[in-house]
């Protein structure tokens, strides 16, 4: 991976869209995660897609539409403990496994997701 290239440059929008879709398929199967979402998952899926585009070096549409991500603040209304983090991470790892990615790109993405998921913990 060339250090001047972003993940977005390397994998493109379609793989980020696929990752997001696969993630929400996992959310829909996980009762603990489903409790955090409204019945209609499509709006949340679109927000995550736009967020991931931006995080991985693509267009900043997320911030243009919603402002700074402020992840902890946006998630503060939900109880997120280590078990909930694990539910989220497992869903994301299953999604990552379904997208064809070079190992170094997958590892970079996984590293981001682990850090972000750990940062969201707001209850013991």
**Residues of the chain predicted below pLDDT 50:** none
Q: What's residue 73's pLDDT?
A: 63
- Which tokens sit at 49? 């897609």
d(CA 60, CA 114): 22
pTM of the model: 0.90
Q: What's residue 72's pLDDT?
A: 60
**Is 5 inside any structural domain?**
no
**Is 83 inside any structural domain?**
yes
- Which tokens sit at 61? 């549409």
DSSP-derived secondary structure for the chain: --TTS-HHHHHHHHHHHHHHHHHHHHHHH-HHHHTTS-S--HHHHHHHHHHHHHHTTS--HHHHHH-S--HHHHHTTS---HHHHHHHHHHHHHHHHHS---HHHHHHHHHHHHHHHHHH----
Show the domain range for 61.
11-120
**Is 2 inside any structural domain?**
no
**Is 64 inside any structural domain?**
yes
**Is 1 inside any structural domain?**
no
d(CA 42, CA 99): 20
Number of domains in the chain: 1
């Amino acid at each position: 991976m060339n250090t001047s290239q972003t993940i977005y440059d390397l994998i493109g929008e379609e793989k980020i869209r696929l990752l997001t879709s696969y993630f929400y398929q996992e959310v829909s199967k996980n009762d603990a995660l489903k409790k955090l979402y409204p019945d209609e998952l499509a709006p949340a899926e679109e927000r995550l897609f736009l967020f991931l585009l931006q995080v991985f070096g693509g267009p900043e549409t997320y911030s243009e539409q919603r402002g700074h991500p402020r992840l902890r603040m946006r998630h503060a209304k939900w109880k997120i403990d280590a078990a909930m983090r694990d539910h989220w991470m497992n869903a994301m790892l299953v999604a990552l496994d379904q997208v064809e990615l070079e190992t170094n790109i997958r590892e970079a993405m996984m590293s981001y997701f682990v850090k972000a998921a750990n940062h969201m913990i707001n209850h013991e």
